[in-house]
Structure 1
Amino acid sequence: MPRRVVRRLQTTLGRRGAFLAILGTGKTCWGIGMIVAPQPAPQGLRLLLEMCPLSSWAWLWITCGLITTASAFLRVGRDWAGFVAALIPPTVWAISYTSAVVTGEFTRGGFLAVWYLTSHVGVIMWAATVPEHSVPHVPRPARKGRPG
């Protein structure tokens, strides 16, 4: 029974969908973590915190994560919203860290901005261009006839 469920889930999601499901789950968990155990003074995020409290930004991660996860179950071509939603939080974080470097508030922020732009934004943009390939099923061996 569990094998059938896993096989059906793999068939339903495909490669792009699996990527979106993993990414969306991670973003949702990251946002929940900011609400459950917020940092007292997150360095480099002053630009964001001047606009909204950290809990509001956590809800951005959660919402985008849920959209990304839900898009995993859509067909290729219709899953674009998941990739767009996945790009929003790390792009916002990269902008905030870049701003912190420019203002001199957090010099390490430049490395964090590059990290978000490469390991998050870059990977998401690459994955959005990866085509979904249908791998042919392995043929089952022929059944032996019953002695009659």
Structure 2
Amino acid sequence: MPRRAARRLYKTLGRRGTFLLILGTGKTCWGVSFLVAPPPEAPGLELLTDLCSLRHWSWLWIVCGLITFTSAFLPIGRDKLGFSTALIPPTVWAIAYTYAVLTGEYSRGGFVAIWYLTSHCGVIMWAATVPEYSVPRAPRSARRGKGA
């Protein structure tokens, strides 16, 4: 029974929807972690924490995660909102870490910014271009020789 339900869910979601579902869940959980137990220090995020606390910034992750999650259930072609919304939190974090490097507050921030830009933003942008169904090429018919 659980396998049948999983197959039906996968058929409903497709490849892009499954990616958005996983991504939305992860972003929401990451945001909830900052809400429930924010770290005492957030080196490299001073640009953000000067504006408001990490508890407030956690809502950016949570809201964007929930939008990404619900976009998984939209029809193909209408899921662009989920992909673009998923880009917002890691882009904001990457900007904050880049700023921290440029101001000299957190020298390691450059590596963290590159990590957010590649493993988050880059993967999201790549996944947004993956077609839902890839159709294999039609096989070429065999040529007959003239000598037959």
- Give TM-score scaled by structure 1 length: 0.89
SS of equivalent residue, structure 2 residue 106: coil
Q: Distance in 2 between matches of 1:51 and 1:77?
A: 36
SS at match of 2:112: helix
Partner of 1:111: 111
Cα deviation digits, residues 97-146 of structure 1 (max 9, x gap): 000000000000000000000000000000000000168xxxxxxxxxxx
> How far apart are 1:50 and its partner, in Å?
1.2
- Pairs aligned (count): 136
CA–CA distance in structure 1, aligned partners of residues 59 and 4 of structure 2: 35
- After TM superposition, where is structure 1 displaced by more than 6 Å over at least 4 residues in a row? none
d(CA) in 1 for partners of 2:125 and 2:76? 15
Corresponding residue of 1:82: 82
Unaligned 5+ segments in structure 2 are: 136-148
Q: Normalised by the size of structure 2, how large is the TM-score?
A: 0.89
Matched residue of 1:132: which SS? Answer: coil
Superposed CA offset, 1:2-29 (max 9, x none): 1221111010000000000000000000
Give the RMSD, CA atoms, in angstroms.
Answer: 1.3
For the pair 1:127 / 2:88, whether they are aligned, the reply is: no
In 2: Cα distance, 1:3 partner to 1:97 partner? 43
Q: How does 1:1-148 map to 2 (within 5 A)?
A: 1-133=1-133
Amino acid at match of 2:91: T
Whole-angstrom CA distance in 1 between matches of 2:13 and 2:134: 11
Deviations 1:1-58 (A, max 9, x none): 2122111101000000000000000000000001111111100000011112111110
For 1:116 and 1:134, locate their aligned partners in 2 and report how far apart those are by CA, in whole Å.
29
Moved more, 101-110 or 34-43: 34-43
Q: Percentage identity across aligned positions?
A: 70
Code of the aligned partner of 1:24 = G
